[in-house]
Structure 1
Amino acid sequence: MSVLEIKNLTTTYGPVKALDSVDVAVETGQITAVLGANGAGKTSLLRTVSGLVKPTAGTITLDGTDITGKPTESMVHRGMAHVPEGRGVIAELTIEENLRLGMRGAAKRPTDTPAPVRTLDDAYQLFPVLGDRRNAQAHTLSGGERQMLVIARALLARPTLLLLDEPSLGLAPRIVAQIFNLVRALVNDSGLTVLLVEQNARSALSIAHTGVVLNLGKVVVTESAEVLQNDATLRHSYLGF
């Protein structure tokens, strides 16, 4: 069953087509990785799904409800959380104050919504480094710690669908492995669904169930992660490894 269905989605920036008739189905309880080179349309896809950019054509359906063009602020109440590229913390606030902002989104979610993170204690158990520094201002965190903070903040909204945009960007390989292993564990243990945009195709495919390869705004192929990992021609042509 698909929690998210994207059909014939087209997004333009002036005369430029960032997405061109894109079809993607994101299955419940799985990780779908969107892969491709810079400029392929990966981030534009997430921004369009979450309402930050309005599509020119096509439909986006979340849990059977058409959300095409709906306001971004309504998405969290519908069960979607978006962690954008760039680790956007509010630097002047403490770690705990940042996390409490995420909890505000959970207020309008059904109380029986399955969720791996419901309380601040849950978040600190998942990311002990955040608990150790809960009263520190967010600007004092390293890049990896900031990525943990924005993921924890998103999870506190109790989403059923998590959009992750380039979570490995600029991080050391050890931290990347830690974050990717955590995402895989969350999906396996709680049934969370993840739409992952990632430049690091090798790491993304190591945890994903399905891969969608974009090139110049078009879907080149949609296949199981295992098939994509073993397709040397496709990997060399579009994924860089």
Structure 2
Amino acid sequence: MLRIEGLTTSYGPVRALQDVSFTAERGKVTAVLGANGAGKTTLLRTISGLVRPDSGSVHLGEHDISRTPAEAMPALGLAHVPEGRGVITELTIAENLHLGGLGRGRKVTPGDLDRVYDLFPVLGERREARAHTLSGGERQMLVVGRALMAEPSLLLLDEPSLGLAQRITAQIFALLRDLVAEEGLTVLLVEQNARSALSLADHGVVLNLGRVVADDRAEVLAGDDQLRHAYLGF
């Protein structure tokens, strides 16, 4: 379980998050929604240790990770897939995946790689191809697969559908749904496409100008016409 309490984060004089509190339940998908500039990406970066909060706390299970450096997060079970599909283009698919397993404290095995190839068959077929040859959708599969190599209990995903065809997005969302159902993975999903995110999520949190303006079950948020029109754009 992820528990956020009173989280406030600033960039110099600009306050990006203000007293944010919510809980992401274990084995569930929680969607974080809101317009550009709402603080969604800052929230993920604060949780994963890339940005230090001014105040408040972040608990992953029994661990207070509020001041934990980003490089220590994989060993605690947290993996972060930032926006942008960042792969190391000079390396092969297999080499990129190996990097994902480095932070968990044990050697990567062929079975670990095979698990990702089973999830994303196209990566298995092209495992020796260099990452610069991949399409946008294949790169998104690779960065998700690389995060899963760390065997996380909590997966942070920032805009995984951005710039992708609807078919590829549906495939990735279906995979996430299966991982949550079968392995108890907890997912915190930042997504601009609120309609798609709420169709996948169990719970939703809506941010506006760095503050939580709604925190409820996904179906409740999807059915609130006033909230949708004011903050979610559909």
Aligned-residue CA RMSD (Å): 1.3
Alignment-mate amino acid for residue 158 of structure 1: E
Instruction: Give the Cα separation in 2 of the matches to 1:118 and 1:176.
Output: 26
| TM-score, length of structure 1 as denominator length | 0.94
Q: Which structure 1 residue ranges, 4+ long, deviate > 4 Å from structure 2?
A: none
1:186 is matched with: 179
1:35 aligns with 2:33: yes
User: Take 1:123 and 1:23, find their aligned partners in 2: how far apart are those partners?
Assistant: 33
Counterpart Cα distance in 1 of 2:111 and 2:215:
34
Contact 1:19 1:218 in 2 (8 A): yes
Matches of 2:203 and 2:128, distance apart in 1: 39
Q: Are the counterparts in 1 of residues 71 and 103 from structure 2 also a CA contact under 8 Å?
A: no
2:35 equivalent to 1:24: no
- The two structures have a TM-score, normalised by structure 2, of 0.97
- How many angstroms does 1:218 deviate by? 0.1
Q: What SS does the aligned partner of 1:119 have?
A: helix
Distance 1:217 1:106 in 2: 32
Classify 1:118/1:39 alpha carbon distance in 2 versus 1 (closer, same or farther; 3 Å): farther
**Paired letter, 1:197:** V
2:11 to 4, 13, 16: 13
Q: Deviations over 1:156-181 (max 9, x none)?
A: 10000000000001101111111111
Counterparts of residues 1-241 of structure 1 (less than 5 Å):
3-107=1-105, 119-241=112-234
* Long gaps (5+) in structure 1: 110-116
Instruction: Check whether the contact 2:123–2:142 (CA below 8 A) recurs between aligned residues.
Output: yes
CA contact (8 A) 2:104 2:150 kept: yes
What runs of 5+ residues in structure 2 fail to find an aligned partner?
A: none
Q: 1:102 to 1:191 in 2, by over 3 A?
A: same
Distance in 2 between residues matched to 1:225 and 1:186, nearest whole Å: 19
Alpha-carbon distance, 1:105 to partner: 2.2
Counterpart-to-counterpart distance in 2, 1:118 and 1:208: 30
